[in-house]
Amino acid sequence: MEGNQSWIAEFILVGFQLSEDMELVLFGIFSLLYTFNLLANGMILGLICLDPRLHTPMYYFLSHLAITDISYASSNLPNLLANLVKHTKNISFVLCTLQMIFNLTFASIECLILVVMSYDRFVAICHPLQYTVIMNWRVCMFLAIACWACGFSLAIVQVSLFLRLPFCGPQKVNHFFCEIQSVLKVTCGDIWINEMFLFAEGVFILVGPLSLMLVSYVHILWAILKIQSKEGRKKAFSTCSSHLCVVGFYFGIAMMVYLAPDSNHREEQKKILFLFYTLFNPLLNPLVYSVRNAQVKAAFHRVLQKKRTV
C-alpha cells in the first residue's frame, strides 16, 4: 500500500538515451530551430498587423495559426532545452500537467484553424460575389473564438480524466515531454476511459475536419477549373496549394500518432515524429505562406521600403 500513491512530485522524462556531448549538440540545434520559429512566426504576425492589405479573413486566421505555432513550441521546447543543457530529465507533476493542457489545447486549435482556413478558401473561390457578406468580421471573430474555446475545453476534459488516476512505482515517461499517451502508461488505474476519449477526440479533431477539408477542396478544384483566366487559375492554385501543404503535413503526422494502433516497437518512432512535429511544423507554416504567397512577399517588400524611406 505504501508503494501505491495517488499523487507524485515529479516525472522522469526518458527521452532519447544520448551522451552529454550529443545533448549539448542537440541543445544548439534545437535552440536555433526554436529561435527561427519565433522569428518566422513573429514576422508573419508583424506583417499582418502592419500592412492594411493583409487585413482580410485569410490572414486574420493565419495570424491565429502563427500564435498557435509559437505557443505550441513554447510549451514543449524550453523545458526540453533546459533538460539538455543541465543533463537532467525531471519535470514536476504540476509542470507536466500544464504541459499536457497546453499541448492538447494548441494542437486542437491548430487543427480547427486549418479547417476554418479551408472554409474561407472555399467561400472565396466558390462564392466570390458573396465572400464579403459570408466572411464578415463578426463571423471571423466567432470562428476564431470557437476554435480556441473548443481546443481548451477538449484539453481540460482529457487532463481532468488523467488527474483521477493513481500512480505507483517509478514514474519514467518514455518521451521527451509530457505527451498524454506516454504519461498514461505510468499510471496504475484503468485507463480505458482515457483511451476511449482520446480516440474519440482524435476522430472529432482529425478525421471529421479532414473529411470536411477534402470535400471543400473537391469543390474548390472544380471551381478553379472553371476559371477562364489563366492568371486567375494560377493565383487560386497558389493560395490553395500552400494550405494543402500545411494540412498534409499536420494531419499526416497527427493521424499516425493518435489513430494508428499502439505497440511497443512504435514508441521510438512516435518520439521522432513528435520531435519532428514540435521542431519543424511551427517553421513550416510561415515558410510555406511566405515563400509561396505573393501577397506576403509583397507586404514584406513594402515594409522594407517604408523603413528605408524613414
Instruction: Strands of 31-96 (E only): list them.
Output: 90-92
Q: 32 lies in a domain?
A: yes
Closest Cα to residue 210, out of 172, 163, 258?
258
Mean pLDDT for all residues in the chain: 83
CATH number at residue 242: 1.20.1070.10
Q: 231 lies in a domain?
A: yes
What pLDDT shows up at residue 219?
Answer: 83
For 259-283, what is each residue's pLDDT tens digit?
766 666 567 777 888 888 888 888 8
Query: Is the pLDDT reported for residue 293 higher than 70?
Result: no
Q: 223 lies in a domain?
A: yes
272, containing H or E segment: helix 267-291
The whole domain housing 182 covers 10-309
For 113-168, what is each residue's pLDDT tens digit?
989 988 998 898 888 889 999 999 999 999 999 999 999 999 999 999 999 888 87
Q: 2 lies in a domain?
A: no
Q: 224 lies in a domain?
A: yes
Q: 168 lies in a domain?
A: yes
Q: 167 lies in a domain?
A: yes
Q: 5 lies in a domain?
A: no
Residue owning grid cell 474519440: 200
For 13-22, what is each residue's pLDDT tens digit?
887 778 888 8
pTM, entire model: 0.86
* Domain count within the chain: 1
For the segment 183-208, the average pLDDT, to the nearest whole number, is 87
For the segment 65-82, the average pLDDT, to the nearest whole number, is 91
For the record, the C-alpha cell of 31 comes out as 535552440
* Measured CA angle at 268 (ends 16, 4), to 5 deg: 75
